[in-house]
């Protein structure tokens, strides 16, 4: 069993897509083993996206991720990371495949509804960034 991490970003929450996105996740065979709603602080967002510090889009990304509540979740299934990257779709919703989360719900390349870990190693790091081990429970949903 492999784990991955996702953020349902502030645009997803604001636009009322949370239930539909979670349904797509569950319908794709994922088990949610940790989930919580939060409003990221600037230091929390800067720490999480530290890899992008110095890039032209960094400030816009931090402002976006701190503008409203989001949902962070740890997911589990076989081939979780790769399958979730496919389920999310391309970062640019105009290039995303039909049926993907971003094709159905994203506004544009910057406001793209969800984040997903890009490797099993980063999934472990990202889950640990937002969840203590006691917050991860097998098969919440």
Residues spanned by the domain of 116: 2-135
Mean pLDDT estimate for the chain: 94
Catalytic residue among 46, 102, 115, 117: 115
Nearest to 20 by CA among 135, 114, 116, 130: 114
Angle between helices 120-130 and 80-88 in degrees, nearest 10? 80
In what helix (H) or strand (E) does residue 51 lie, and over which residues does it extend?
A: none
Classify residue 141: in a domain, yes or no.
no
CATH number at residue 34: 3.30.70.141
pLDDT in tens, 36-88: 999 999 999 999 999 889 888 899 999 999 999 999 999 999 999 999 999 99
Say whether 52 is catalytic. no
């Amino acid at each position: 069993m492999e784990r991955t991490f996702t953020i349902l970003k502030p645009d997803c929450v604001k636009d009322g897509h949370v239930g539909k996105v979670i349904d797509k996740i569950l319908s794709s065979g994922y088990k949610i083993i940790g989930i919580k709603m939060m409003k990221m602080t600037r230091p929390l967002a800067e720490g999480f996206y530290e890899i992008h510090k110095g890039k032209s889009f960094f400030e816009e990304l931090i402002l976006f991720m701190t503008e409203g509540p989001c949902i962070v979740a740890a997911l589990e299934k076989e081939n979780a990371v790769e399958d979730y990257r496919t389920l999310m779709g391309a970062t640019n919703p105009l290039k995303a495949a039909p049926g993907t989360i971003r094709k159905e719900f994203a506004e544009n390349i910057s406001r793209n509804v969800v984040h997903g870990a890009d490797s099993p190693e980063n999934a472990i790091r990202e889950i640990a960034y937002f969840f203590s081990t006691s917050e991860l429970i097998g098969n919440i949903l």
